[in-house]
């Protein structure tokens, strides 16, 4: 059993223990969670809303703060509403890293954003408003305004005093030097510690500083920080004024998200964490890619029809829709397998929710397949076979059946490989393609035999 599954089981046991008792507060939860609040934030999606509230309210303030920062979008939105209703939201926003607060505020409609800032001091509220102006898909949307910057004449002793007096800096691995707001240098904590207290920072600071513009793409920020092994990256505006920094934890999140986006786009989806999304949400994000496959298959069917006309044609009518059906259901299988392979790789899928994820993937595949089957049958009708109704029925039945088989294979084969401790990515390529091609041909030709028999 994985650590995630054990944590879920321990929490459920504690909730069941206090169920119906005189003191229904799960008092053992803070001890059970311990320093695993980040893991707890990730598993809260496995509990219903009433359980989430009971769990959250029983935690220590430190654990609650971490859970709120790290929770998934839906759980985070629910917890924010809960804290707002209880009047506790301002105290959480004061303690949270400002970039995390901005992420929460940015997710809300424009009319609600000011409501979330009520109760905060004017300075912090203004910082949040300023950071909210930047697009989430830029360096400005990724940065934090909580950084340490000093003038070049500041002494080492004064810098140490600043660090002692201000504990709210996001990172002090690198300390920046500015002149009238413009970035002119940087030095590390190591340099600070070995310098004499009377030394001025201009004596040892580095003036050749790597920076990114506020409008820079986060992927480029990730590339630069990875290439130069940076723990923080200064962000400047068009006048080279230092407006914020991007820390390594934020850029790692970007790297993971961008990698997931690339994987799922290749597979034909735009979901980053599909197993956390609803079934209908996944259907909406996958259908547009499958429509392209349908159009391509329809074009191929028309090409085959051109070569299948006339008494001496070597291509039969039955073969018109073979490429469409096989490629369409192959893409459905690829979408499911990408979800499973990425989920296993990131830890998003573990034993505690594996069965549910597989069922969801089969359900998603069946729904998108059914929608595509209706469209495919309509395209079969457009081609005007001698018996369009029966041909449309053959195509519809084939796509529905094969989409179910394809999504089952797409979810099941990587799972089998994972259980056998073989890299599931092996199953995401040729193996699933071969299996879908074989079963697709078998299912479609079986219906074609029925078509000719009728």
pLDDT-based confidence at residue 427 (cuts at 50, 70, 90)? low
Residue 304, class by beta-carbon neighbours within 10 Å (0-12 exposed, 13-18 middle, 19+ buried)? Answer: buried
Q: Cα separation of 391 and 257, whole Å?
A: 44
In this predicted model, what pLDDT tens digit does every residue of 225-272 receive, in sequence order? 989 988 899 999 999 999 999 988 888 877 777 777 777 777 666 666
pLDDT at residue 346 in the model:
77
Task: Please determine, for residue 224, whether its predicted confidence score (pLDDT) is greater than 60.
Answer: yes
In a domain, 262, yes or no: no
- Does the pLDDT of residue 352 top 80, yes or no? no
Same domain, 232 and 307: no
User: Residue 261 domain-assigned?
Assistant: no
Q: Domains in the chain: how many in total?
A: 3
Domain membership of residue 140 (yes or no) is no
Residue 228 lies in a domain: yes
Q: Does 395 lie in the same domain as 426?
A: yes
The pLDDT value recorded for residue 432 is 87
Q: Indicate if 56 and 159 belong to the same structural domain.
A: no
Residue recorded with tokens 């203004």: 126
User: Does residue 286 sit in the same domain as residue 243?
Assistant: no
Q: What is the mean pLDDT of residues 350-355?
A: 80
The size of the chain, in residues, is: 454
217 & 274 share domain: no
Most confident option among 67-81, 91-105, 190-204, 264-278:
190-204
Average pLDDT, the chain: 86
In a domain, 194, yes or no: yes
% the chain with pLDDT above 70: 92
Q: What pLDDT does 294 receive?
A: 87
- 312 and 419 belong to one structural domain: yes
- How many Å apart are CA 244 and CA 344, to the nearest integer? 35
In the block, tokens 């179910």 appear at 404
Q: What's the helix, strand, coil split of the chain in %, to 5?
A: 65, 10, 25
Q: Is residue 142 part of a domain?
A: no
Most confident listed range (17-21, 415-419, 447-451)? 415-419
| Maximum average pLDDT range among 228-237, 334-343, 431-440 | 228-237
Q: Is the pLDDT of residue 202 over 90?
A: yes
By DSSP bridging, strand 147-150 and strand 171-179 are: parallel
Are residues 209 and 117 located together in one domain of the fold? no
Full residue range of the structural domain in which residue 386 is found: 268-453
Residues 72 and 157 in one domain: no
pLDDT at 273 over 80: no
Q: Do residues 161 and 226 both lie within one domain?
A: yes
The pLDDT value recorded for residue 313 is 57
Do residues 444 and 396 touch, judged by C-beta distance below 8 A?
no
Average pLDDT over residues 114-133: 86
40 falls within a domain? yes
Task: Please report the pLDDT score of residue 188 as a whole number.
Answer: 93
- Give the CATH number, domain containing residue 310: 1.10.357.20
Whether 446 contacts 439, CB under 8 Å: no
Instruction: Give the pLDDT score at 192.
Output: 94
Which pLDDT does position 379 carry in this prediction? 83
Q: Which residues pair with 74 in a beta bridge?
A: none
Q: Does position 360 have pLDDT exceeding 60, yes or no?
A: yes
Same-domain check for residues 201 and 330: no
For CA atoms 249, 251, 255, 258, give the dihedral sign. positive
- Could you give the 3-state DSSP secondary structure of residue 143? coil
Q: What CATH number should be reported for the domain holding residue 159?
A: 3.10.580.10
Looking at the fold, whether 368 and 434 belong to one and the same domain comes out as yes
Angle at 408 between CA 410 and CA 298, to 5 degrees: 70
Yes or no: say if 99 and 132 are a contact pair by the CB < 8 Å rule: no
Q: Decide which of 135, 165, 185 is a domain's last residue.
A: 135
Instruction: Output the pTM of the full model.
Output: 0.68
Per-residue pLDDT reduced to its tens digit, 15-38 = 888 776 666 667 788 899 998 999
Of the residues 255, 286, 307, which one is the last residue of a structural domain?
255
Task: Indicate whether 293 and 201 sit together in one domain.
Answer: no
Examine the fold and report which residue of 135, 160, 188 is the final residue of a domain before the chain moves on. 135
The pLDDT value recorded for residue 348 is: 79
pLDDT for res 20: 66
The pLDDT assigned to 125 comes to 87
* pLDDT at 320 (0 to 100): 80
pLDDT score of 45: 81
Establish if 141 belongs to a structural domain. Answer: no
Whether residue 385 has pLDDT greater than 70 = no
Mean pLDDT of 271-298: 85
* 454: confidence class by pLDDT, cuts 50, 70, 90: low
């Amino acid at each position: 059993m994985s650590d995630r599954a054990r944590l879920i089981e321990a929490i459920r046991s504690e909730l069941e223990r206090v169920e119906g008792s005189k003191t229904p507060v799960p008092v053992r939860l803070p001890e059970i969670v311990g320093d695993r609040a980040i893991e707890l934030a990730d598993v809260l999606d496995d509990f219903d809303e009433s359980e989430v509230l009971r769990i959250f309210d029983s935690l220590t303030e430190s654990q609650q703060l971490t859970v709120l920062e790290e929770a998934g979008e839906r759980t985070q939105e629910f917890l924010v509403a809960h804290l707002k209703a209880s009047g506790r939201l301002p105290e959480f926003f004061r303690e949270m890293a400002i970039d995390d607060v901005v992420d929460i505020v940015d997710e809300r409609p424009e009319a609600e954003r000011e409501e979330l800032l009520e109760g905060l001091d004017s300075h912090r509220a203004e910082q949040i408003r300023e950071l909210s102006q930047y697009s989430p898909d830029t360096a400005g949307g990724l940065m934090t305004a909580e950084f340490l910057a000093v003038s070049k004449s500041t002494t080492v002793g004064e810098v140490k005093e600043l660090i002692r007096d201000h504990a709210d800096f996001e990172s002090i691995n690198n300390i920046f030097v500015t002149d009238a707001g413009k970035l002119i240098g940087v030095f590390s904590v190591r340099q600070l510690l070995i310098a004499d207290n009377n030394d001025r920072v201009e004596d040892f600071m580095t003036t050749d500083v790597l920076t990114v513009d506020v409008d820079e793409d986060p992927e480029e920020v990730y590339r630069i920080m990875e290439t130069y092994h940076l723990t923080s990256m200064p962000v400047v505006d068009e006048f080279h004024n230092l407006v914020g920094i991007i820390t390594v934890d934020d850029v790692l999140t970007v790297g993971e998200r961008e990698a997931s986006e690339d994987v799922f786009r290749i597979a034909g989806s735009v979901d980053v964490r599909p197993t956390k999304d609803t079934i209908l949400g996944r259907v909406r994000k996958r259908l547009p890619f499958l429509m392209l496959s349908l159009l391509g298959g329809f074009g191929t069917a028309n090409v085959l029809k051109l070569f299948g006309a006339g008494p001496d044609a070597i291509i039969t009518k039955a073969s018109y829709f073979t490429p469409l059906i096989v490629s369409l259901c192959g893409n459905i299988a690829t979408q499911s397998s990408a979800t499973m392979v990425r989920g296993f790789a990131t830890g998003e899928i573990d034993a505690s929710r594996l069965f549910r994820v597989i069922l969801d993937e089969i359900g998603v595949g069946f729904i998108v397949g059914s929608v595509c089957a209706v469209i495919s049958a309509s395209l079969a009708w457009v081609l005007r076979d001698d018996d369009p109704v029966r041909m449309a029925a053959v195509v519809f039945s084939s796509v529905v059946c094969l989409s179910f088989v394809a999504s089952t294979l797409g979810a099941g084969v990587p799972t089998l490989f994972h259980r056998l401790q073989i890299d599931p990515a092996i199953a995401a390529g040729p193996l699933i393609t071969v299996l879908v091609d074989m079963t697709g041909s078998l299912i479609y030709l079986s219906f074609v035999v029925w078509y000719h028999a009728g």
